[in-house]
Amino acid sequence: MVQDINLSGSSSKVNWPSIIRNFRMSKRLKQAALAADLGVTQAMISRWENGESDPPDRVKRRMAELVQDAFVVAPAPTWIDLVTLNPGIEFVTDSMGVFKAVSAGALELFGVSREAVEGRPADRFLGGDFAQTLETLRNKGMFRSDLVFAQSLGRVELTNGAAPRTVLCDFIHWPRISEVRAVFCVHSGAVLDEEKYQRRLDQRGQKIVTRQTF
């Protein structure tokens, strides 16, 4: 079962003060600069960030565009290179489920070389709940930028090698848009013991939680 946290629809479901403030600070913009882009006064930005009033629909639509564009942070070679150097468990897949980059930590977990895994389908190496997670992310629109991020818990089957094994993992997944507007999914995870896995599952109540964009 999948739980959706929907940011579309009525403004009561969207924390506009947080969205506006966090976007502005992440881009290092002063209130006056964001106000100029939105065609409003600096005082209105302040009121929205303080929760004193709700932005009009045209501003919400513009903020949605700005947040989407903010996904493009660096050229793909730069952030993909950083993924490969990560000592933790992290990898990138495209819309077809093919590995584009795999971290050093993930290679150790998989027990394979970089040449053996990158450019090949993820389902050759990862089964169990992770295979279902990839399908859910695809159906929910991860590769159409319909999701801000998703979280998943599951039993991941490491199918490479003569002795396949199963590990319990907690993943966060988010879209990354390249400079040519291709959407990839970055998966960052951690291996859990049975106690931590069950505790996190009890806290969330679902194996997969998705947060939709505007």
- Confirm whether pTM is higher than 0.85: no
What value does the mean pLDDT take over residues 147-156? 91
Residue 143 is classified by DSSP as: G
Task: Indicate whether 142 and 198 sit together in one domain.
Answer: yes
Phi, psi torsion values for 125, nearest 5 degrees: -120, -25
> CA-CA distance, 122 to 156, in Å (whole number)?
12
Q: Which domain holds residue 147?
A: 76-212
103 shares its domain with 132:
yes
Q: What is the CATH number of the domain that holds 59?
A: 1.10.260.40
The number of folded domains in the chain is: 2
Query: Which of the 8 DSSP states describes residue 124?
Result: G
What pLDDT, in 10s, does the model give residues 170-209?
A: 999 988 877 677 889 999 999 999 999 999 999 999 999 9
Identify the pLDDT of residue 9.
42
158 and 182 co-located in one domain: yes
What SS3 state is found at 159? coil
Distance CA 159, CA 121 (A): 12
**Sign of the four-CA dihedral 75, 98, 130, 107:** negative
